[in-house]
Amino acid sequence: MLSNSLPTTIPETGSTLTDGDYANLARRWIDMQLAEAAGVRRVDSATGRLLVGRHDHASYEGLAIPYFLPGESRVREWRLRRDHPDIEYKDGKPKEWGKYLSPPGRKNMIYFVPGTSQNLVKAVATPVIMTEGEFKTLALWRLANHESTAPRFVPLGLAGVWNWRGTVGKTTGPNGDRCDVKGVIPDFDLVTWEGRRVIIAFDADAEKNEQVEIARNLLARELRMRGAEVAFVTWDIAQGKGIDDLLANIGPEKVLELLVGADFETEDADDSISVHQIADAITVRYRFARDAGGKLYVYRGGCYHPDGASLIAQQVKRLLARMRLASKWSSHKSDEVVKYLAIDAPLLWDAPPRDQVNVQNGLLDVNTRSLSPHSADFLSPVQLPVRFDPAARCPAWDKFISEVFPGDSEAIAWEIPAWLMTPDTSIQKAILLMGDGANGKSTYLRGVLAFIGKHNTSAVALQRLENDRFSAARLIGRLANICPDLPSTELTSTSVFKAITGGDAMMAEYKFKDSFEFVPYARLVFSANHPPKSQDASPAFFRRWLVVPFERTFADGAPGTIPGDKLDAMLSGPIELSGVLNKALAAVAAVRTRGLSESESMSRATDEFRQTTDPLAVWLDRNTILHSEAVTPKDQLYREYHRNCTDAGRPTISKTAFGRAMKKLRPAVSDCQRTVNSVLSWCYVGISVLSNERA
Please give the average per-residue pLDDT across 285-295, as a whole number.
90
Q: Is the pLDDT of residue 442 over 80?
A: yes
| Residue range 42-75, pLDDT digits in tens | 999 999 999 999 999 899 999 999 999 999 989 9
Q: How far apart are CA 248 and CA 27, in angstroms?
A: 6
pLDDT of residue 177: 64
Q: How far apart are CA 129 and CA 435, in angstroms?
A: 75
- Residue 451: name the closest of 387, 363, 356, 386 by CA: 386
Please give the average per-residue pLDDT across 340-355, as a whole number.
92
**Contact call for residues 668 and 626 (beta carbons, < 8 A):** yes
Q: Is the pLDDT of residue 511 over 90?
A: no
Q: What is the mean pLDDT of the chain?
A: 88
Cα dihedral sign for 206, 210, 211, 214?
positive
**Contact call for residues 282 and 337 (beta carbons, < 8 A):** yes
pLDDT of residue 156: 98
The domain spans of the chain are 10-260, 275-344, 395-609, 614-694
What single letter denotes the amino acid at residue 249? N
Q: Is the pLDDT of residue 695 over 70?
A: no
State the DSSP H helix or E strand holding residue 673, giving kind and residue range, or none if neither: strand 670-676
DSSP string over 152-193 = SSEEEEESSTTTTEEEEEEEE-TTS-EEEEEEE-GGGGGS--
Band the pLDDT of 182: cuts 50, 70, 90: confident
| Residue range 158-170, pLDDT digits in tens | 999 999 998 877 6
Question: 503 exposed, middle or buried (CB, 10 Å; 0-12, 13-18, 19+)?
Answer: middle
Buried b (16+ CB within 10 A) or exposed e, 329-342: beeebbebbbebbb
pLDDT of residue 626: 94
Band the pLDDT of 4: cuts 50, 70, 90: very low
| Residue range 514-557, pLDDT digits in tens | 888 999 999 999 998 887 877 676 778 889 999 999 988 776 76
Q: Which residues contact 630 (CB under 8 A, 6 or more apart)?
A: 685, 686, 687, 688, 693
Question: 354 exposed, middle or buried (CB, 10 Å; 0-12, 13-18, 19+)?
Answer: middle
Q: How far apart are CA 549 and CA 407, in angstroms?
A: 11
Band the pLDDT of 8: cuts 50, 70, 90: very low
- Residue 384: name the closest of 409, 349, 420 by CA: 420
Q: What share of the chain is helix, strand, coil (3-state, %, to 5)?
A: 40, 20, 40
Q: Is the pLDDT of residue 458 over 80?
A: yes
Q: CA distances (Å), 617 to each of 14, 523, 610, 630, 647, in order? A: 83, 27, 8, 19, 17
10-260 — its CATH code? 3.40.1360.10
pLDDT of residue 694: 40
Please give the average per-residue pLDDT across 190-196, as a whole number.
93
Band the pLDDT of 175: cuts 50, 70, 90: low
Band the pLDDT of 660: cuts 50, 70, 90: confident
Band the pLDDT of 381: cuts 50, 70, 90: very high
Q: Is the pLDDT of residue 284 over 70?
A: no
Please give the average per-residue pLDDT across 205-209, as a whole number.
78
pLDDT of residue 9: 41
Architecture of the domain delimited by 395-609: 3-Layer(aba) Sandwich (3.40)
Band the pLDDT of 322: cuts 50, 70, 90: low
Band the pLDDT of 685: cuts 50, 70, 90: very high
**Greatest pairwise CA separation for the chain in angstroms:** 133
pLDDT of residue 321: 72
pLDDT of residue 184: 85
- Count other Cβ atoms within 10 Å, centred on residue 295: 20
Indicate the range of 229-233, 378-382, 433-437 predicted with least confidence.
Answer: 433-437
| Residue range 214-249, pLDDT digits in tens | 899 889 877 876 778 899 999 999 999 999 999 999
Q: What angle do CA 621, 622, 628 make, to 5 degrees?
A: 60
Percent of the chain scoring above 70 in pLDDT:
93
What single letter denotes the amino acid at residue 396? A
pTM of the model: 0.59
Phi, psi torsion values for 456, nearest 5 degrees: -100, 10
Q: How far apart are CA 637 and CA 631, in angstroms?
A: 10
Please report, for the chain, how many H helices and E strands are present, in that order.
24, 29
Inter-residue long-range contacts of 281-289, CB under 8 Å, 24+ positions, other chains counted = 281/210, 281/211, 281/214, 281/315, 281/319, 282/312, 282/315, 282/316, 282/319, 282/337, 282/341, 283/341, 284/211, 286/311, 286/315, 287/376, 288/341, 288/342, 288/345, 289/345, 289/346, 289/347, 289/348, 289/379
614-694 — its CATH code? 1.10.10.10
**Contact call for residues 113 and 138 (beta carbons, < 8 A):** yes
- Determine the 3-state secondary structure of 678 from DSSP: coil
pLDDT of residue 537: 67
Cα dihedral sign for 250, 255, 256, 257?
positive
Band the pLDDT of 22: cuts 50, 70, 90: very high
Q: Is the pLDDT of residue 12 over 70?
A: no
- Which residues in 214-328 belong to E strands, given as ranges? 229-232, 288-290, 296-300, 303-305
Please give the average per-residue pLDDT across 496-518, as a whole number.
89
Band the pLDDT of 654: cuts 50, 70, 90: confident
Q: How far apart are CA 167 and CA 184, in angstroms?
A: 8
Buried b (16+ CB within 10 A) or exposed e, 597-607: bbbebbeebbe
Please give the average per-residue pLDDT across 463-479, as a whole number.
91
Please give the average per-residue pLDDT across 624-638, as a whole number.
94
Q: Is the pLDDT of residue 472 over 60?
A: yes
pLDDT of residue 327: 79
pLDDT of residue 218: 85
**Contact call for residues 551 and 406 (beta carbons, < 8 A):** yes
Q: How far apart are CA 681 and CA 674, in angstroms?
A: 6
